[in-house]
Amino acid sequence: MDVPPAGPRAWPSADDARIADLRRQAATERGTAWPQPLVSHYARYFRDGNRTAYEGLVAARQQRLTRAVVMALAAVSDDPAGTDAEAWLDEVIDGAFLLCEQSSWCWAAHDDVHSRTGNVVPEPAVPYLDLGAGEVAAQLAWIDHVLGPQLDGRAPGLRRRIRDEVRDRAIRPFLERLDWHWLGLDGDVHNWNPWIHSNLLAGALFLVEEPRLQAHAVARCIEGLDRFLASIPGDGAIDEGFAYWWNGAGRALEGLRLLEQATAGALDGGLPVVRALAAFPYRMHLGGTWFLNVADGPARAADALPWDMLRRWAVRLGDTAAAAHAASLASGRPDAAAGLGRVLHSLLDEPDAGARPAAAPLPAFSYLPSVQIMVAREHGGAPLGLTLAAKGGHNGEHHNHRDVGSVVVAMDGIPLLVDAGQPTYTAQTFGPDRYLIRAMQSSWHNVPAPYGLEQGTGASFAATVLQEPTAGEPALALGLGAAYGLDHPEQWIRTALLNRDAAAAVIDDRWTLPSPPPGATDDVDITYLAAGTVRLGQDATATVLPEGIPAVPGGRGVRLRWKPATAVVLVDEWQLDDPLLSGVWGHHLTRLRFRMPAETRAAGAFTLTVEATP
């Protein structure tokens, strides 16, 4: 295994700069009460839809345990018999035992206890195997792998308890039931599949002692990962977007690596689809920590992403662009929020000593036909200037927002015409009222609203590609009529073009509409959502500046020009009270609704041109 057990000089020392943040927080926590998720927190999901009250405490408990494991490894590495090693080991055994005592490893939002029984209290005898349960099983497995003998010496019997709990709560439910939706047996394969399978693989390899049971579990994990990889299109696109790549495709890569090590290379994960998967993140890059966000994803990359894992895969695959991209964003300081397995691998990562900091490749052009996403920038290799992203797709995608035909425009790597992204999850997020959430609605994306219509939900509400973009002509033309339930895709045609010669992004809409359907309005609107500060001019122009976007010190903005100039501009301020949204965009987003003049409602055209401010 890449990850060795604890031992003298086997792990970074306690004074290693890479673990300074972990060390500081772990020292503050040690000796204090552990986070305690209670049944009242669990019940809140069923009472008022709140997920974070319970999941936040569970995450805090597991992150504290991860930090304690790192400190125990460092202490054992420095002085195996020292009192500091003993103190950190006690912290680890307390945290591990708390997980064993925790009534449910499942997150309340996923538990079927309420739908089965009407109860809001988890049933330990009927464990539900979800993302949360998989995470706990893997965390306990990695603890046992790296600190097994030390646990035996400090708390005899704990390893037996860990094995029993993982077997009963994770391995047996996995093997005894075939109705887990995340298996993908119905053809719907999504990110839960590799996320859970890779975690169960760690649990089976490190904790299952019965050879036949272990072989059965590992074989089922291989089957599951195969099913996920077979679902990936040839271009490596993930319809859930960049943010979910890490807990989908990224988990699959980790599972493949674990299988390679467990079989001494007999199973080789270097498949063609893996190369395509490894390239997806850099193709979605806008600049800095900003990425094209579709579906339930924030526009800014999270702090705890394991870029080192992606860099290692990219180096192995010979993809220099993907390797440089990952290296340019790796912090070198593991974050406990990533999970114990990822933290351990990060601590052992050894990039080339003395190598110059890598530069993100920022390709001039990318197009992924399976999801109909184009990203084109004014200057390849640098974030300077305009970047235009456009997507077609359909409204049955995983974690879907009604965003067929949407565009994002960034200036110097900072998105200014934006997709709001992911709000805080609640019971409503994945329920029948999902599209009552503003961030999911087409009326708050950069798309048209013919007769005020919302886009429909489902795979039939889709774009038709009328012109594929090329590197020389980055123009994506889409028929959007079906997204609104119109008779023909060509009843609304949108073309998104990056004109490098003119240093402009041009979004051109043309339509020939039937009579308004019953209940619709006569209005034909085209909506754009802007971040930062918006100022309307007097001559069919507006400016959008990055002022107000958190952690953006200023810089150039964009100037908007539109035709016909007689379109009425309606301005709506969205005051952001959701911490996930305000953390990315600041206090507000601004919606510009361009209402078409009466004479062009049935048939007409509207062109928005986006250029840099001086």
- Residues 324-345 have pLDDT tens digits of 999 999 988 999 999 999 999 9
The structural domain count of the chain equals: 1
Distances (CA, A) of 113 to 46, 119, 127, 305: 10, 6, 9, 32
Report yes or no on 171 lying in a domain: no
Answer whether residue 356 shows pLDDT above 80: no
| 309 within domain boundaries | no
Task: Give the strand pairing for 386-391 and 407-411.
Answer: antiparallel
- Give residue-wise pLDDT tens across range 217-252: 999 999 999 999 999 999 999 999 999 999 999 999
Q: What is the structure's pLDDT at 355?
A: 60
What is residue 197's predicted lDDT score, i.e. its pLDDT?
A: 98
288 token code pair: 């800095």
Quote the pLDDT of residue 144.
98
Sign (positive or negative) of CA dihedral 369, 375, 377, 380: negative
Q: What is the pLDDT of residue 170?
A: 98
Q: Three-class SS string for 309-334?
A: HHHHHHHHHCCHHHHHHHHHHCCCCC
Identify whether 412 is part of a domain.
Answer: yes
Distance CA 482, CA 490 (A): 9
Share of the chain above pLDDT 90, in %: 92
Task: List the CATH number of the domain containing 420.
Answer: 2.70.98.70
What confidence tens digit (pLDDT) does each residue in 90-113 have?
999 999 999 999 999 999 999 999
**What radius of gyration, in Å, describes the C-alpha atoms of the chain?**
26
Question: Per-residue confidence at 453, pLDDT binned at 50, 70, 90?
Answer: very high
Rounded-to-integer distance, Cα 44 and Cα 142, Å: 31
pLDDT at residue 294, as a whole number:
93
378 contact partners, CB below 8 Å, separation of at least 6: 384, 385, 386, 387, 498, 500, 503
| Domain presence at residue 230 | no
Please report the pLDDT score of residue 600 as a whole number: 93
Q: CB–CB of 401/411 below 8 Å? A: no
Q: Look at 85-89, 145-149, 267-271, 282-286 and tell me which has the smallest mean pLDDT.
A: 267-271
Q: Is the pTM of this model over 0.85?
A: yes
Vertex 399: Cα angle to 63 and 406 (nearest 5):
120
pLDDT value at residue 60: 98
Give the confidence band of 146 by pLDDT, cuts at 50, 70, 90: very high
436 burial type by CB count under 10 A (0-12 exposed, 13-18 middle, 19+ buried): exposed
What is the rounded average pLDDT of the residues 180-206? 97
Please list the helix, strand and coil fractions of the chain in percent, rounded to the nearest 5, in that order. 40, 20, 40
- Position with higher pLDDT, 352 vs 152: 152
Whole-number pLDDT of residue 352: 64
Tally helices (H) and strands (E) across the chain: 17, 21
Average pLDDT (172-180) is 96
Is 505 part of any domain? yes
Domain membership of residue 127 (yes or no) is: no
Q: How confident is the model at residue 82 (pLDDT cuts 50, 70, 90)?
A: confident
Alpha helices in 241-271 (DSSP H): 242-245, 249-262
Position 66 in a domain: no
Task: Give the pLDDT band (50/70/90) at residue 437.
Answer: very high
Q: If pLDDT is split at 50, 70 and 90, which confidence band does 519 have?
A: confident
pLDDT at 39: 95
pLDDT at 332: 87
Mean pLDDT of the chain: 95
- Asked whether residue 351 carries a pLDDT value surpassing 80, the answer given is no
Nearest to 232 by CA among 240, 223, 222: 240
β partners of residue 287: 290
Q: How far apart are CA 418 and CA 532, in angstroms?
A: 10
**Per-residue pLDDT band at 269 (split at 50, 70, 90):** confident
Domain range holding 556? Answer: 365-612
